[in-house]
Amino acid sequence: MGKLQDIRRKRLEKLGKNLQDRLSTSFIDIQRLIPNVGIATILSNVPCNATMRSSDQPDVTAISTIPVIVSWRIHVPTYIDIRNGDTITLKLLGENGEWKSAFRAVTGDPYVVQSRKRVDVMMKALGRDDIIDDVIPPPERPEPEPEEKDMSEITVRFLDVDENDISDMIVIKTEIEKEFSIEALVIHGYTFSHVFVNGDMYNKSQLSFIPIYDEYSIYFIYDEITVPIGVKQFAVGRFQRDDGSFGNYAHWYQTIPINWIDDFEIISPVIQLTHVETRQVLRIQIGSRLLLMPQKIFSQVKKISNVDGGFLISLIEVEPTETERTAYITSAYDL
């Protein structure tokens, strides 16, 4: 839980800074007498926390009367350079974005209280003309800085049982504490076996978790398919390529799942389908040329027998013709 607490602490600190920059209505300017230079402004428009401790009693019947002498307690961050003898101008911002009032005095020694620096000072109020002519203008309200999101880098690899890459590695960056999901790829010639996440094994092809670490390694492990699991039929005519474009020439059509027995003998229900582009009816019969997948074995039907409501089809491996060898192998239609 230490990692999560650190992330949340950083987020709160960033939020606090944004709120201070946006919501502060009290600011100070610090001036200092520098030898051989004179009075110089050291810092201006420093956000502060100012609390009125006491004030004189003005004539409440007078118009625009403000307290002449006010006792203020001012807090600033400890890194603010404020010293005994500095002249401080405290400025209070009004709702219209202009200075509502201002006070000035020479400060004594500052105190360090916990994580802040404090000065207690009796200050004289400045008149409206002094504020307009003599006080540094208010700071522009900054836009809140975009929140820096803590990211996790997830490296995903697809490996065979010998740890050889069988597909391109993927590197994904995702936000920490935001749900992340990924699923094993369908890779021709292989079947998903299990997955490792940072060394821990899981027997599921789809992962969903909430990252809390900076880095993750996900290894999807696959078994190589050593026997054919499907058959494609040869066709000539219009078809859709895997990228969505269309062609109009020889191709190996949709992969039909089969039950493998041995020695190129397959048993399946009637293998017959209609090509979705040409409406051509494709049937398997003696002499048909088939492509066994995913090994891409060129075969020819030698014999067909009825077996328990299906067909036992005997195949022999053959050399492909030039047209068959160069025909496009589709996957856009695969089940």
Kindly report, residue by residue over 91-113, the tens digit of the pLDDT. Answer: 888 877 788 888 899 998 998 87
Which CATH architecture is the domain 151-224 placed in?
A: Roll (3.10)
**Domain extents for the chain?**
2-134, 151-224, 230-329
In the structure encoding, which two tokens stand for residue 122, read together? 């009796």
The single-letter DSSP state of residue 102 is E
Residue 140's contacts (CB-CB under 8 Å, 6 or more residues apart) are none
Q: What is the pLDDT of residue 226?
A: 74
pLDDT, one tens digit for every residue, the chain (335 residues): 455 666 666 665 555 555 444 456 889 999 999 888 888 899 988 888 888 887 665 554 554 555 578 888 998 988 899 999 999 999 888 877 788 888 899 998 998 877 778 888 888 878 777 776 677 777 776 566 666 778 999 999 999 999 999 999 999 999 988 899 999 998 877 889 999 999 999 999 999 999 999 999 999 999 987 777 788 989 999 999 888 899 999 999 988 887 655 555 565 656 777 888 888 888 888 898 999 888 888 999 888 887 766 677 888 899 999 999 999 999 888 76
With b for 16 or more beta-carbon neighbours within 10 A and e for fewer, the 99-136 pattern comes to bebbbbbebeebeeeeebbbbebbbebbeeeebeeebe
From 43, 47, 51, select the one nearest 26 (Cα to Cα). 47
The CATH fold assigned to 2-134 is Thrombin, subunit H (2.40.10)
Strand, coil or helix: 6: helix
Q: Residue 232 CA to chain centroid, in angstroms?
A: 41
CA distance readout (Å), 66 to 57, 72, 104, 128: 9, 15, 14, 10
Residue 88 burial (C-beta neighbours within 10 Å; 0-12, 13-18, 19+): buried
pLDDT value at position 263? 54
β-pair type (259-262, 265-268): antiparallel
Collapsing DSSP states into helix, strand and coil, what is residue 143? coil
Q: What's the one-letter identity of residue 57?
A: Q
Spatial separation of the C-alpha atoms in residues 45 and 313, rounded to whole Å: 88
Give the pLDDT confidence score for residue 160 in this predicted structure. 93
pLDDT of residue 279: 87
